[in-house]
Amino acid sequence: MEFKAIGVLGAGTMGAGIAQVCAEAGFKVVLVDIAPEFVDKAVKGMNKNWSKAVEKGKMAADQAEKLNALVTTSTDNAAFKDCDIVIEAIVENIDIKKKVFKQLGEICGPDAILASNTSALSITEIAAATNRPNKVVGMHFFNPVPVMKLIEVIPGAETTDDVVEAVMDLSRKIGKEPVRAKESPGFIVNRILVPYINEAAIVYQEGIASAEEIDKAMKLGANMPMGPLALCDLVGIDVVLAICEYYWREFGDSKYRPSLAFRQKVRAGHLGMKTGKGFYDYTKK
């Protein structure tokens, strides 16, 4: 399987990062979201990152222009019709994903692969909604996408090995290291990382230490690159809460009960860096 054009559905933090690394690897990228302001913000962000790379002497100025030319945007999923693969990075809602994947199957050519960047949801369930469950696969990136090296590749029940291999190969071509994981809630990284973040939020909620002290402790005591509550703000408190609730439902095990601190912050609209407030206040910086 040869990839020339890559579709990215969803121009949020993850979608923008995925579009950026695909363009950097020389692929044509079609970036789609529901509103022009979302795709415009993503393209602006990519160009800002490329300008920084030029300033640091890591990229030639004409290279940044070439990369920008590789990215086209649209608000219509029909723009994916000639893409060899579409990577979906939209909201973590299984019903919306199923609806969108069904539509992508109708738009894309018969050989196109449909990949989901879902953090935790069932690839098999998403695949079953399409006309090509053998060509649907999980391709899970990590935030911030331009920096994080890993991609988890997750086959659904009917995904063929050649599709998995093609996506692993594509992952290497965009400068990442793929790891294959069996389908299970949260796959590998989020299965381990989310309960860790949740425990940190429970420690916070119990008043054992402040957010700053918890993060400092984990950075200096366990050599984490950033503390769990700062990481939670980076990922999105709503996202972490939704993943905890999903584990609780799927595994039926109360060890996945989410911290009340998540619920309180989500109710207040404090979702982390993306809203300016979470465990930390970013509006003052």
| Token representation of residue 239 | 């996202």
Backbone angles phi, psi at 277, to 5 degrees: -140, 145
Rounded distance, CA 130 to CA 113, Å? 11
256 by Cβ neighbours in 10 Å (0-12 / 13-18 / 19+) ranks as buried
3-state DSSP assignment of residue 59:
coil
Contact partners, residue 246, CB within 8 Å, separation at least 6: 120, 121, 185
Question: Minimal distance in Å, beta carbon 250 to ligand 3HC?
Answer: 16
Rounded distance, CA 228 to CA 193, Å? 9
Q: How many Cβ atoms are within 10 Å of 118's Cβ, its own excluded?
A: 23
Closer of 5 and 241 to ligand 3HC (Cβ): 241
3-state DSSP assignment of residue 200:
helix
Residue 22 interacts with ligand 3HC (CB under 6 A): yes or no: no
Residue 12 interacts with ligand 3HC (CB under 6 A): yes or no: no
Question: Is 270 among the catalytic positions?
Answer: no
- Has 252 been labeled as part of a binding site? no
Mark 34-73 with x for binding to ligand 3HC (rule: CB under 6 A) and - for no binding. Answer: ---------------x------------------------
Closer of 86 and 237 to ligand 3HC (Cβ): 237
Looking at the DSSP bridge assignments, the partners of residue 88 are: 9, 116
| Candidate segments 212-220, 225-233, 256-264, 274-282, binder of ligand 3HC by CB under 6 A | 225-233
Question: Is 140 among the catalytic positions?
Answer: yes
Residue 147 interacts with ligand 3HC (CB under 6 A): yes or no: yes
Catalytic-role residue among 116, 122, 171, 190: 190
Residue 19 interacts with ligand 3HC (CB under 6 A): yes or no: no
The shares of helix, strand and coil residues in the chain, as percent rounded to the nearest 5, are 50, 15, 35
Closer of 111 and 196 to ligand 3HC (Cβ): 196
Residue 110 interacts with ligand 3HC (CB under 6 A): yes or no: no
| Candidate segments 4-12, 71-79, 146-154, 248-256, binder of ligand 3HC by CB under 6 A | 146-154
Cα dihedral 238, 244, 245, 250 sign: positive
Closer of 84 and 238 to ligand 3HC (Cβ): 238
Q: Which residues are catalytic?
A: 119, 140, 152, 190
Annotated binding-site members for NAD(+): 10-15, 33, 92, 97, 119, 143, 274
Under the rule (CB under 6 A), what is the footprint of ligand 3HC?
49, 119, 142-144, 146-148, 190, 193, 225-226, 231, 235, 239
